[in-house]
Chains A and B, each alone.
Chain A
Amino acid sequence: MGTITRLLRRIAARATGHVLVFIARFITAVRADWRGIEPVPRQRVYFANHVSNADMPMIWAVLPPALRREVRPVAAADYWLKTPLRAFVGPEVFNCVLVDRRPEARSDDPLESILAALREGSSLIIFPEGGRNMGPDPLLPFKAGLYNIGRACPEVDLVPTWIANLTAIMPKGEIIPLPLICTVTFGAPLHVDPGEDKDAFLARASGALAALAPPPPPPAPEQAPA
């Protein structure tokens, strides 16, 4: 009984994954721009800007199937375990590494589960801003996690990954998504240099990620006085 249920859940998870990729392609014609790396199987940590809940599925959808099978998004346990549907989609469809964002409530170290996934050979998708960016700045200051991963696993490529246009496709508070084209740009990989301190590395990583953003359409008029 248990085996059959698990098998059915696996099949359902696979099918759901295909449906999600199809929806992402249909609504946003999402595409990858492999600017700094090739789509080849290497162990990588894709670190991306985060403006919407659709960010992670977009990266997941543009990865070729062989890479997609090896990648595990790092996601918030409090979000993905909230309902039975999310608990199916997050851990089983996307194969998320769930971490607890609340330091006061958590029992184990989130970095430890992330490093365990890397030691198993998985690649990761992480959002180093630590939450969704709702403000006007292109990026929020990075949390230390990316630096700690880079220190612990110096051989893993840290790949800056910019997701463009999602705010225009689905701004916060709107109901209908616009069918604009979303582009996921992968930049050249980074590594923590020997002796590089946390702030210097995070500034470098943040700069490399922001440099992948497409220029805003000209002319970008001044903000109207309130």
Chain B
Amino acid sequence: MTDTTYQHILILFLGVCGLLLALTLFGAALRARYGRGQDNPVIETYMTRVHSWWTMVLLFVLALMLGRVGVVLLFAFASFSALREFLTLTYKRQADHIALALAFFAVLPLQYLFVGLGWQAVYTVFIPVYAFLLLPVVSALRGDASGFLVRVAETQWGLMITVFCASHVPALLNLGFPDYPADRGLLLIAFLVMVVQFGDLLDFYFGRRLGRTRIVPGLSPKTWEGASLGVASAALIGGALAWLTPFPVWGAMAMAAVASATGQAGNLVIAAIKRDRGVRDWSHLIPGQGGFVDQMDSVMFAAPVFYHLTALAWAS
């Protein structure tokens, strides 16, 4: 890894640490004022979330420091946790057991292996073509046709969103750009994750403050005001972070806006699935935040779109 890339990762890390430190001190001040413990569930939830953010930021930066292997492993682990949450809630029968085991223990590791090796022609079709065609065959061989289409469709949807889409984050390392050293792909990943997550957080903040018009009443509390201000903030943050990317400033702003808008659309889809299954969160694995799918839904939606637009418009 070149020294500039390394330094830029450290600068980002220190910036985010400063922000988290401010949020932690804010929470500590609230605790000092209103008391801690069971009496103030709002403050305690807030602090739990800030602690989870610390863990996620530290893991993410550690992965970036380790380079390609670290990032691929981190997203493979996140995909595994998200797939486990997703398939816990899908319809399945014993006849699907081997197909599901293959999804966890063969399809997922292979997809990340192909991404790690940079075999673009393979990882872009492996799940949408080969897993799509072969896993239903494995289920069909067991001879149980009850609810067959629902079973294979739900499994494939889970694999697409939690493995195929999520793997497009580390896949950004495989794109080459003129005048952009290959290892700066790590910073492009940081750019995508940051603009999408900040867009989500600011959508939540502005939605609480200024939200009036719900986008889909009865499904999600998301409002047009919050969502558009979230996308606009993501564009501004993207412009400020343009030095991480191979894009010019206006390009970084446009890409950040598209990524944030796609991510927020993803929030709505995931909210519809949760509503259908009657759950509030996908799991309990990230304290204060719910599950990996809750945390990553917007990044998973944004990643393939961001990847393809980057490849089409900017890559060499």
Contacts and interface: CB of A to CB of B under 8 A. Distances in A.
Interface string B56-93: 00000000000000000000000011001101111110
B79 to A, nearest CB: 12
A31 B284 contact: yes
10 tightest CB-CB pairs across the interface, nearest first?
Answer: A221-B147, A224-B146, A171-B94, A181-B88, A217-B91, A176-B101, A180-B88, A174-B97, A179-B84, A224-B145
Given A29-B285, A220-B147, A221-B150, 5 more contacts: A174-B98, A176-B105, A178-B104, A179-B104, A219-B150
Contact of A181 (B85, B100, B147, B150): B85
B145 A217 contact: no
Interface in A161-216: 165, 168, 171, 173-174, 176, 178-181, 215-216
Interface stretch (B115-123, B183-191, B275-283): B275-283
A174 B94 contact: yes
A107 interface: no
A165 B147 contact: no
Interface of B: 80-81, 84-85, 87-92, 94, 97-98, 100-101, 104-105, 144-147, 150, 276-278, 283-285
A221 B146 contact: yes
Given A29-B283, A178-B104, A218-B276, A165 B146 contact: no
A3 interface: no
Nearest to B95: A171
Contacts of B283: 29, 31, 181
Contacts of A178: 87, 97, 100-101, 104
Contacts of B277: 217-218
A223 interface: yes
Contacts of A179: 80, 84, 104
B146 A223 contact: yes
Nearest to A176: B101
A168 B91 contact: no
Most B-side CB within 10 Å, residue of A31, A165, A180, A222: A180
A181 B90 CA distance: 12
Contacts of A221: 146-147, 150
Contacts of B92: 168
Contacts of B101: 176, 178
Contacts of A215: 278
Given A174-B97, A176-B105, A217 B90 contact: yes
Interface in A1-55: 29, 31
Contacts of A218: 91, 276-277
A193 to B, nearest CB: 32
Given A174-B94, A178-B104, A29 B144 contact: no
Contact of A217 (B89, B100, B144, B146): B89
A29 B80 CA distance: 12
Most B-side CB within 10 Å, residue of A181, A216, A218, A222: A181
A131 B88 CA distance: 26
15 contacts: A29-B283, A174-B97, A176-B101, A178-B87, A178-B97, A178-B104, A181-B85, A181-B88, A218-B91, A218-B276, A218-B277, A220-B91, A220-B147, A224-B144, A224-B145
